[in-house]
Amino acid sequence: MTSFVRILLVLSTAVSLVNAFAPMSLIPTVSTTTSSTTSSSSSSSSSDIQTKGTMFSYNKPSTQRHRVALRLKDENMTEEERAIALEKATKAMTAFSNTYIKNTGTKYCSDLSIPAVVIKGLAEHKVTLGAPLCPCRFYEDKEKEAKDGFWNCPCVPMRERHECHCMLFLTEDNDFVGDKTSITYEEVIEKSGGMM
């Protein structure tokens, strides 16, 4: 792969991360369709997603028990409480990412600012939505997507096929894979530009 193509891929990922925090009115819709193509026992809890000509199914988590928990969790927090919650969530998402890397045999990107920004975005969503919704995708309704669970980290494509759109968990065959299998909380803060 040429240097030019690699640079374009890194820039594309960086733009995706920046745009993930753009105002919702500027973000195009990502749509999924619900159908009952599996067995009759899962007709109301199964969704099929068409991606690159391949159909993927997953079981939706029950939204009934999540309704209260997934309201904007930080809406009644003071700035100090939110900062404490964000620090705690960032430490938790850093620990989760390090454990998941070990369990899946994947590695971080050679540019540690990529996983640092992704981990920071996951922590932000954990505080605001109550779930680590992928920060690298566009959503018309983040709360609905967090309840749905498909794009909550680790997302279904990562769990099923080891495909991480965010470049957080990379397989050996990825051109951007580094040699690190852990990142510290301090590195996440430093390489992501500090706390939000």
The question of whether 134 is a catalytic residue gets the answer: no
CA angle centred on 195, ends 189 and 196, rounded to 5°? 140
Q: Exactly one of 136, 155, 164, 166 is catalytic; name it.
A: 136
The answer to whether the beta carbons of residues 106 and 174 sit under 8 Å apart is no
The answer to whether the beta carbons of residues 101 and 107 sit under 8 Å apart is yes
The answer to whether the beta carbons of residues 72 and 130 sit under 8 Å apart is no
Report helix, strand or coil for 73.
coil
Per-residue DSSP letter, 56: E
The answer to whether the beta carbons of residues 9 and 175 sit under 8 Å apart is yes
The answer to whether the beta carbons of residues 74 and 128 sit under 8 Å apart is yes
Q: Which residues are catalytic?
A: 136
